[in-house]
Amino acid sequence: MLPVFVLTACVLVVASLPLWLPKGVVALRMRVFAHLNGHEGIPVPGDLVGAAQFKEVYSHPAVNGRSRGAGLSDLFWYWLSPGAELHQEHLEAGDRYEEIARTTRRILGVPRARAEALAERCSARALSGIQGARLVRLRDLMMPAWAEFYYEVVFGERCPPLARDLIVDNADDVVTALKCCGLRHMDRRDRLTRFLTDRLEAGGLPHELPSGLSTRERALYLQGTFFNTAIVQTSEAVAHLLMVLAQHPEAQTRAVGDDRFLDQVIEETFRLYPLFGIAHRITTGEIAVSNGVTLPAGSVLCFNYPAFHRVGFDDPDHFDPSRWETLSAREANHIPFGVATNRSCPAWRLAPITMRVAARETMRRFALYSSASHTRSMPSRGPCLLVPREGPHGARRALLAYIWLRDRWEDVARSVVQLVLGTYMVRDARRLRLCQRHFEAQEADPEAAENLPTATDGP
């Protein structure tokens, strides 16, 4: 009797793992991270600063420290290595930042018609290899397209397959580590740095690059901003958009021929799945907030995008693109590209143009279906079934049941991997202290500050 009871209990526990284990492990991971990182951040919105003061505080001129003085920065520099100290997103305000930001804006100033034609060509090539119905991971499917797109934007020439593969290897490695689904592989990243350095040495670039940087530093700037951030962000954004369309067939049907509606779907996708979970800033002066709170200099503010995007919307968890028929993105609590007055995204104009084209190209060829779970961090990379629009849709139900089952069990294994690898990387980043060491060296020798070696690995 007992063995049957024990056996049944074991079967029930194992069968129910997908229902409780991933959630439990994610909660544990957050606690381990908070313990290892310390509780240095002030969440916004939170107890001190509410959603009503979110934009006021984010826009404050003293909310302008980017990396120096936050333990959290060591973790970001670890994930973004090599060259985090040259990454626009992590540079402190100053002449170097201004010049790099100007260069990025210039490179991204692609005329709309050219951007659309290029995005169409690159998406079409990425999709052309798919014959018949196919199970894909949307992020993987789209990454080569954006590698080719941004290579051509930066270098003004077609992207050779070798460059595309190096860029994809680099970007995939960064985003996989960021989501704690894998460790860093510096060899993959260094291969791209060497390729870019050689390419810059060969000359013939359509854009002037920041002065005062060595060729290797220029390569690292391009690697960080274009062949890491641009590729990762656009691939993730398009994967979210296609995933939403795959899970809302009525929206998909309407969006196929209605660009205005597709724009509403994009806006609603950004609202529900903003690419930034948290953006942090270190305050460089005291801030008197309009709610009576004073934030001292040196505070680490953690601006929580998903939390802000939920405030002030009816039924905020519900996917409802039609809310954007009357709502203005400017007036709503909606900042997918950050706040204009505090280092917002330089691709705020270009990225949606290219996303629209990629979605149109995909939907023109395929009907999309997915039964996988869809979360903001999407560590699953967006499992989806693509079925040619003209072809038979026969085995769809069986394939969707397979995606559902596989996704739930992958979630179980992945949550444990993320806990183990995430804990290792947080500890490793604390050991290496890439950001702290950079600023200590800069303070010790301000003369040599501009020529500090690139922070990659341990002392």
Alpha carbons 247 and 241: distance in angstroms, whole number:
10
The residue from 324, 337, 369, 439 that contacts ligand HEM (CB under 6 A) is 337
Does the footprint of ligand HEM cover residue 104 (CB under 6 A)?
yes
Q: How far is the CB of 301 from ligand HEM (least distance, A)?
A: 11
313 touches 323 (CB < 8 A): yes
Count of other CB atoms within 10 angstroms of residue 212: 11
The residue from 193, 223, 234, 380 that contacts ligand HEM (CB under 6 A) is 234
Question: For ligand HEM, which stretch binds (CB under 6 A), given 159-167, 252-260, 336-344, 424-432?
Answer: 336-344
Q: How far is the CB of 187 from ligand HEM (least distance, A)?
A: 24
275 touches 43 (CB < 8 A): no
Question: For ligand HEM, which stretch binds (CB under 6 A), given 68-76, 174-182, 221-229, 382-390?
Answer: 221-229
In this complex, which beta carbon is closest to ligand HEM, that of residue 153 or of residue 387? 153
- The alpha carbon dihedral of 340, 345, 351, 352 has a sign of negative
399: three-class secondary structure by DSSP: helix
Does the footprint of ligand HEM cover residue 273 (CB under 6 A)?
no
Q: How far is CA 274 from CA 68, 197, 333, 338, 344, in A?
A: 25, 33, 12, 10, 14
The overall longest dimension of the chain from CA atoms, in Å, is 80
116 touches 357 (CB < 8 A): yes
Question: For ligand HEM, which stretch binds (CB under 6 A), given 16-24, 334-342, 380-388, 391-399?
Answer: 334-342
The residue from 174, 243, 275, 295 that contacts ligand HEM (CB under 6 A) is 275
Question: For ligand HEM, which stretch binds (CB under 6 A), given 47-55, 100-108, 312-320, 371-379?
Answer: 100-108
The residue from 199, 343, 356, 433 that contacts ligand HEM (CB under 6 A) is 343
Does the footprint of ligand HEM cover residue 101 (CB under 6 A)?
yes
Does the footprint of ligand HEM cover residue 442 (CB under 6 A)?
no
Q: How far is the CB of 424 from ligand HEM (least distance, A)?
A: 26
Alpha carbons 261 and 203: distance in angstroms, whole number:
44
Q: How far is the CB of 385 from ligand HEM (least distance, A)?
A: 24
Does the footprint of ligand HEM cover residue 41 (CB under 6 A)?
no
Count of other CB atoms within 10 angstroms of residue 106: 12
Does the footprint of ligand HEM cover residue 210 (CB under 6 A)?
no
Q: Determine the size of the site formed for ligand HEM (CB under 6 A).
A: 24
Compute φ and ψ for 103, nearest 5 degrees. -65, -45
- What is the identity of the amino acid at 110? V
What are the residues facing 383 on neighbouring strands? Answer: 137
Q: Which of 271, 239, 273, 246 is nearest to 381 (CA)?
A: 239
Does the footprint of ligand HEM cover residue 336 (CB under 6 A)?
yes
The footprint of ligand HEM on residues 414-433 (CB under 6 A) is none
Q: Which of 128, 105, 378 is nearest to 235 (CA)?
A: 378
Q: How far is the CB of 16 from ligand HEM (least distance, A)?
A: 36
Alpha carbons 410 and 407: distance in angstroms, whole number:
5
Question: Per-residue DSSP letters for 254-266?
Answer: HHHS-HHHHHHHH
Q: How far is the CB of 418 from ligand HEM (least distance, A)?
A: 23
Q: Which residues of the shown chain bind ligand HEM in the complex (CB under 6 A)?
A: 88-89, 101, 104, 108, 225-226, 229-230, 233-234, 237, 275-276, 279, 336-338, 343-347, 351
